[in-house]
């Protein structure tokens, strides 16, 4: 014999019931079958709602009952031939009238009891099982209907009754002996007490009914037919990439369901496990899918973590106090106080100091728990040996489950590392001594992110999703978006990295998307965004709370540079092309670096110096590997290089500068480049990264730009440069006479930095530098005479965008 159970969705529509009939009809060709059915999906909730409305004096329950009635009448009409319908239609009406009578009673009394509620919800399964029995008969399959209330005996703990297995087994066996056909349908979930009063087995309890029948009648197998193709590595509603677990042990399945994998009701496994009956989880809507086999031995290959689940609405209760140390019996008293009020303890942790004990319970029971525990410890509380119980709500548990975890060290490290890198704060941890489960208590608002993260960490070694929010879509920004679009497939296939741009901002608008923004259409997408400030953009980023978040700043805005702190605090990585933050006062720069470190995230700004050239990354590598920077010499302004490489006195200096600006090699205000300010910022950033606490005003700037050029607007600047043409020509000609070239050089040595225009002779490292190239020479302990040289294009939208891109990848891989 086999027991098959079909859940709410599986019997939720006449079409679904037809699937059930065809699945069962195949089975009964070979075997005797008991089909256990749930109420039509959603009915149990509706019935409970009717009871609540009636108890609160709201007559709206009548409308709901109408809804329930017509849904069931429709099912009869669609499943049963017209000639046979009438008796079933009147049976449904009769049952629904009883529901109404019950609700009327509740309405009059203005209260409902657990006993009445059980009676009320029992109609869901009663009616569904009767309609389904009739549908089987109409399909030509002889079927007997069993009344589970007469077969499954429980105590009188309404809502969650405890099964009396001895009586139940005897009753089921007698019924089975008496039955002649080979197909039985019975309602799940419902049972009755010794007094014959209807009870229920807890929400989701139809699974349990099936397991009880399977165990008591020694079935060959139990099949739980539902709306997913098996027990999955995580709840597919939360983790789109979850996949079916082919085989899992009873213990693991029990653990996963206990920690929230709703696909199977936790008590279900025990009775069948005791008899070593295999359980299959199968999909009613994809019957050919293999499903999951739950049996004694799990599957030994693959990830040591079998699945990840979560329980929400958890409250953490902490009992603390100096009086607890070394005194036996404290825990016992705590648990007794809780169990006396039927409060189920979901998780326990106790610090090794024995100073505190922490238990997780259902949030709804928290206040009751506090009353009970404070009363139990009243003497100690009054003596201040123990503090009154503390409650923290809004929490959830995420749990990793897997039999093989015990033989794989480092799993908790990976768990906490992944959570830590993403700013998920762990409030408590518990690891069963079986090491079959590691649970972390976190804020409910972090659960979705955490489960997806952990799923990626343990099951998708191959795929990592990164969520990008980009501020600034000008020259460099638009090139970056283009490069991202171009590389998306490559990164997916070669690095298993899924880079998604999910937010864009410019100085006027912000726009978010739940899915990756189509990068061929980003302009329109942003145009349709809302007018808002960068602060609202950051609010949106933090609200979304996505895993592996990277914020990219490709603006030159002070205001944008001011938001990094908020992001880093929440473990969102920041990639800045904008130099303002790193060249602001040292304390702010330091604070940001520190925030990134403490929150385990990245703060990267490679493009602050030398555009896409790997200058800062190389410097960091040298310093981290123990080298000491002795001296830096560099030409760091692509703009100035371009200008002095193109200026030979044959056309005005101002014109060459304008050309540089036109070609996109200058800051929006070219004076920042020409005055040397931009180079000062860059050498300061390098000095800081080399470990020096340097400020802008400590840098010497040998300016070549006459003071008159610094006044007024950008246009005034061009006009005054024209006036000063002789000055520029003199500088050029003098260098030319000496056979030298002009370079604007930045140097850092002995804790001091300076910048200025220099004549460079042909033998010098800095001499052969063309176009907009930059060069950086690092003289270090390990490179004392021949410096490490980094040279190449130091400006331009494409190379800068690719530097930002590289930082994004680096932030992602940390």
- Chain residues binding ligand ASP by CB under 6 A are 7-8, 38-39, 44, 124, 188-189, 203-207
Q: Look at residue 738 and give its three-state secondary structure.
A: coil
Instruction: Read off the tokens for 784.
Output: 């004392």
423 binds Mg ion (CB under 5 A): no
Q: Which does 236 bind (CB under 5 to 8 A by kind): ligand ADP, ligand ASP, Mg ion, none?
A: ligand ADP
Phi/psi at 531 (5° precision): -75, 120
* Rounded Cα–Cα distance for residues 621 and 603 (Å): 15
Q: Look at residue 612 and give its three-state secondary structure.
A: coil
* Rounded Cα–Cα distance for residues 468 and 572 (Å): 10
Mask for 156-195, x = binds Mg ion (CB under 5 A): ----------------------------------------
Q: Which does 307 bind (CB under 5 to 8 A by kind): ligand ADP, Mg ion, ligand ASP, none?
A: ligand ADP
Candidates 2, 3, 4, 9: give the one binding ligand ADP (CB under 6 A): 9
- The residues in 95-114 that bind Mg ion, with binding defined as CB under 5 A, are none
Instruction: Read off the tokens for 114.
Output: 């657990």
Q: Are strands 2-6 and 629-635 parallel, antiparallel or unpaired?
A: unpaired
Contact between residue 225 and residue 4 where contact means Cβ atoms under 8 Å apart: yes
Instruction: Read off the tokens for 442.
Output: 């976190």
Q: Which does 801 bind (CB under 5 to 8 A by kind): Mg ion, ligand ASP, ligand ADP, none?
A: none
* Least Cβ distance, residue 542 to ligand ASP (angstroms): 36
Q: Where are the beta strands (DSSP E) in 25-151?
A: 33-37, 144-145
Of 357, 353, 354, 322, nearest to 338 by C-alpha is 357
Query: In terms of CB distance, is 48 or 429 closer to Mg ion?
Result: 48
- The residues in 195-214 that bind Mg ion, with binding defined as CB under 5 A, are 204
* Rounded Cα–Cα distance for residues 374 and 370 (Å): 6
Q: What is the 3-state secondary structure (H, E, C) of 230-266?
A: CCECCCCCCCCCCCECCEEEHHHHHHHHHCCCCCCCH
The full length of the chain comes to 814
Candidates 7, 51, 503, 612: give the one binding ligand ADP (CB under 6 A): 7
> Is 682 one of the catalytic residues?
yes
Query: In terms of CB distance, is 303 or 555 closer to ligand ADP?
Result: 303
Query: In terms of CB distance, is 124 or 271 closer to ligand ASP?
Result: 124
> Which segment (69-77, 230-238, 486-494, 517-525) binds ligand ADP by CB under 6 A?
230-238
Q: Which does 189 bind (CB under 5 to 8 A by kind): ligand ADP, ligand ASP, Mg ion, none?
A: ligand ASP
Q: Which does 261 bind (CB under 5 to 8 A by kind): ligand ASP, Mg ion, ligand ADP, none?
A: ligand ADP
204 binds ligand ADP (CB under 6 A): yes
Instruction: Read off the tokens for 786.
Output: 């021949």
Query: In terms of CB distance, is 236 or 771 closer to ligand ADP?
Result: 236
* Rounded Cα–Cα distance for residues 87 and 84 (Å): 7
124 binds Mg ion (CB under 5 A): no
Instruction: Read off the tokens for 624.
Output: 């981290």
* Rounded Cα–Cα distance for residues 736 and 742 (Å): 9
Which residue among the candidates 119, 464, 682, 741 is catalytic per the annotation?
682
* Least Cβ distance, residue 207 to Mg ion (angstroms): 6
> Which segment (2-10, 417-425, 766-774, 798-806) binds ligand ADP by CB under 6 A?
2-10
Query: In terms of CB distance, is 346 or 757 closer to ligand ADP?
Result: 346
Size of the site for ligand ADP (CB under 6 A): 20
> Which segment (1-9, 622-630, 718-726, 745-753) binds ligand ADP by CB under 6 A?
1-9
> Which segment (215-223, 259-267, 502-510, 643-651) binds ligand ADP by CB under 6 A?
259-267
Residue 759: strand pairing partners: 742
For residue 757, what are the contacts with CB-CB under 8 A and spacing of at least 6?
A: 644, 702, 704, 731, 742, 743, 744, 745
DSSP 364-398: GGHHHHHHHHHHHTHHHHHTTSSPPPEEEEEEEEE
Mask for 263-302, x = binds ligand ADP (CB under 6 A): x---------------------------------------
452 binds ligand ADP (CB under 6 A): no
Q: Which does 267 bind (CB under 5 to 8 A by kind): ligand ASP, Mg ion, ligand ADP, none?
A: none
Q: Which does 10 bind (CB under 5 to 8 A by kind): Mg ion, ligand ASP, ligand ADP, none?
A: ligand ADP
* Rounded Cα–Cα distance for residues 211 and 206 (Å): 9
* Rounded Cα–Cα distance for residues 437 and 303 (Å): 14
602 binds Mg ion (CB under 5 A): no
* Rounded Cα–Cα distance for residues 638 and 773 (Å): 6
Query: In terms of CB distance, is 209 or 545 closer to ligand ASP?
Result: 209
- The residues in 15-44 that bind Mg ion, with binding defined as CB under 5 A, are none
Token pair 């923290």 is found at 392
Instruction: Read off the tokens for 408.
Output: 């794989």
Candidates 100, 125, 169, 235: give the one binding ligand ADP (CB under 6 A): 235
Mask for 299-338, x = binds ligand ADP (CB under 6 A): --------x-x-----------------------------
> Which segment (97-105, 235-243, 332-340, 358-366) binds ligand ADP by CB under 6 A?
235-243
* Rounded Cα–Cα distance for residues 752 and 699 (Å): 7
* Least Cβ distance, residue 354 to ligand ADP (angstroms): 36
**What angle, rounded to 10 degrees, do the helices at 114-138 and 43-55 form?**
150
Q: Which does 792 bind (CB under 5 to 8 A by kind): Mg ion, ligand ASP, ligand ADP, none?
A: none
* Least Cβ distance, residue 148 to Mg ion (angstroms): 16
Q: Are strands 2-6 and 33-37 parallel, antiparallel or unpaired?
A: parallel
Q: Which does 231 bind (CB under 5 to 8 A by kind): ligand ASP, Mg ion, ligand ADP, none?
A: ligand ADP
Instruction: Read off the tokens for 480.
Output: 């970056």
Residue 576: strand pairing partners: 553
Query: In terms of CB distance, is 100 or 457 closer to ligand ADP?
Result: 457
**Helix, strand, coil % in the chain, rounded to nearest 5:** 45, 20, 35
* Rounded Cα–Cα distance for residues 43 and 189 (Å): 13
* Least Cβ distance, residue 253 to Mg ion (angstroms): 14
255 binds ligand ADP (CB under 6 A): no
Phi/psi at 35 (5° precision): -105, 120
Candidates 166, 237, 341, 393: give the one binding ligand ADP (CB under 6 A): 237
For residue 775, what are the contacts with CB-CB under 8 A and spacing of at least 6?
A: 634, 635, 765, 766, 769, 789, 790, 791
Q: Which does 385 bind (CB under 5 to 8 A by kind): ligand ASP, ligand ADP, Mg ion, none?
A: none
Positions touching ligand ADP (CB under 6 A) are: 7-10, 38, 204, 226-228, 231-232, 234-237, 261-263, 307, 309
Active site residues: 682
Positions touching Mg ion (CB under 5 A) are: 7, 204
């Amino acid at each position: 014999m086999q027991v098959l159970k079909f859940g709410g969705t599986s019997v939720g529509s006449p079409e679904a019931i037809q699937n059930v009939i065809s699945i069962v009809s195949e089975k009964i060709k070979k075997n005797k079958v008991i089909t256990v059915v749930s109420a039509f999906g959603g009915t149990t909730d509706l019935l409970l709602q009717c009871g609540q409305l009636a108890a609160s004096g709201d007559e709206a329950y009548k409308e709901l009952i109408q809804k329930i009635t017509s849904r069931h009448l429709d099912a009869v009409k669609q499943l049963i031939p017209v000639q046979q319908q009438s008796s079933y239609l009147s049976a449904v009406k009769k049952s629904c009238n009883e529901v109404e009578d019950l609700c009327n009673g509740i309405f009059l009394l203005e209260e409902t009891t657990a006993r009445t509620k059980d009676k009320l919800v029992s109609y869901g399964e009663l009616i569904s099982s009767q309609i389904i029995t009739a549908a089987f008969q109409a399909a030509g399959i002889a079927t007997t209907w069993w009344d589970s209330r007469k077969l499954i005996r429980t105590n009188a703990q309404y809502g969650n009754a405890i099964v009396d297995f001895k009586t139940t087994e005897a009753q089921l066996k007698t019924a089975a002996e008496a039955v002649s056909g080979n197909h039985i349908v019975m309602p799940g979930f419902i049972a009755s007490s010794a007094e014959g009063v209807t009870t229920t087995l807890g929400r989701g309890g139809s699974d349990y009914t099936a397991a009880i029948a399977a165990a008591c009648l020694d079935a060959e197998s139990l099949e739980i037919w539902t709306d997913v193709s098996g027990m999955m590595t995580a709840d597919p509603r939360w983790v789109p990439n979850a996949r079916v677990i082919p085989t899992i042990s009873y213990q693991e399945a029990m653990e996963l369901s206990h920690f929230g994998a709703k696909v199977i009701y936790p008590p279900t496994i025990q009775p069948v496990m005791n008899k070593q009956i295999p359980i299959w989880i199968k999909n009613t809507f994809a019957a050919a899918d293999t499903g999951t086999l739950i049996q004694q031995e799990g599957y030994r290959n693959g990830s040591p973590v079998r699945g990840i689940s979560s329980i929400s609405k958890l409250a953490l209760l902490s009992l603390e106090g100096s009086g607890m140390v070394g005194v036996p019996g404290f825990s016992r008293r705590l648990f007794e106080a809780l169990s006396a009020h039927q409060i189920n303890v979901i998780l326990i942790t106790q610090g090794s100091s024995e100073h505190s004990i922490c238990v997780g319970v259902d949030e709804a029971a928290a206040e009751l728990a506090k009353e009970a525990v404070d009363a139990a410890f009243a003497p100690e509380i009054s003596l201040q040996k123990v503090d009154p119980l503390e409650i923290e709500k809004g929490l959830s548990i995420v749990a990793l489950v897997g039999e093989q975890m015990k033989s794989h060290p480092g799993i908790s490290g990976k768990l906490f590392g992944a959570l830590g890198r993403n700013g998920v704060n762990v409030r408590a941890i518990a690891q069963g001594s079986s090491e079959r489960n590691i649970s972390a208590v976190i804020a409910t608002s972090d659960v979705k992110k955490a489960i997806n993260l952990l799923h990626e960490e343990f099951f998708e070694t191959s795929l990592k999703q990164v969520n990008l929010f980009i501020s600034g879509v000008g020259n460099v920004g638009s090139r970056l978006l283009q490069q991202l679009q171009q590389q998306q497939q490559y990164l997916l296939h070669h690095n298993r990295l899924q880079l998604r741009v999910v937010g864009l901002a410019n100085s006027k608008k912000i726009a978010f998307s739940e899915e990756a923004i189509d990068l061929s259409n980003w302009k329109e997408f942003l145009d349709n965004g809302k007018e808002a400030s960068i602060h609202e953009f950051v609010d949106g980023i933090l609200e979304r709370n996505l895993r592996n978040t990277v914020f990219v700043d490709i603006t030159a805005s002070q205001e944008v540079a001011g938001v990094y702190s908020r992001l880093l605090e929440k473990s969102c990585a920041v990639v800045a092309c904008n130099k303002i933050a790193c060249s602001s006062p040292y304390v702010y720069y330091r604070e940001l670096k520190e925030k990134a470190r403490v929150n385990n995230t990245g703060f990267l700004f490679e493009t602050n110096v030398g555009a896409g050239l790997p200058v800062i990354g190389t410097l960091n590598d040298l310093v981290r590997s123990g080298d000491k920077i002795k001296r830096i010499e560099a030409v760091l302004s692509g703009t100035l290089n371009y200008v002095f490489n193109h200026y030979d006195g044959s056309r005005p200096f101002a014109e060459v500068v304008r050309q540089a600006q036109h070609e996109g090699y200058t800051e929006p205000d070219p004076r920042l480049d020409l005055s040397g300010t931009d180079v000062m910022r860059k050498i300061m950033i390098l000095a800081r990264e080399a470990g020096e606490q340097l400020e802008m005003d400590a840098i010497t700037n040998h300016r070549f730009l006459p003071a008159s050029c610094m006044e007024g607007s950008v246009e005034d600047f061009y006009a005054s440069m024209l006036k000063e043409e002789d000055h520029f020509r003199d500088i050029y000609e003098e260098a030319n006479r000496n056979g030298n070239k002009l370079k604007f050089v930045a140097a850092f040595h002995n804790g001091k930095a300076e910048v200025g225009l220099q004549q460079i002779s042909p033998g010098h490292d800095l001499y052969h530098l063309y176009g907009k190239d930059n060069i950086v020479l690092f003289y270090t302990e390990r490179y004392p005479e021949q410096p490490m040289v980094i040279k190449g294009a130091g400006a331009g939208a494409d190379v800068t965008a690719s530097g930002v891109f590289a930082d994004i990848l680096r932030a992602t891989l940390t």
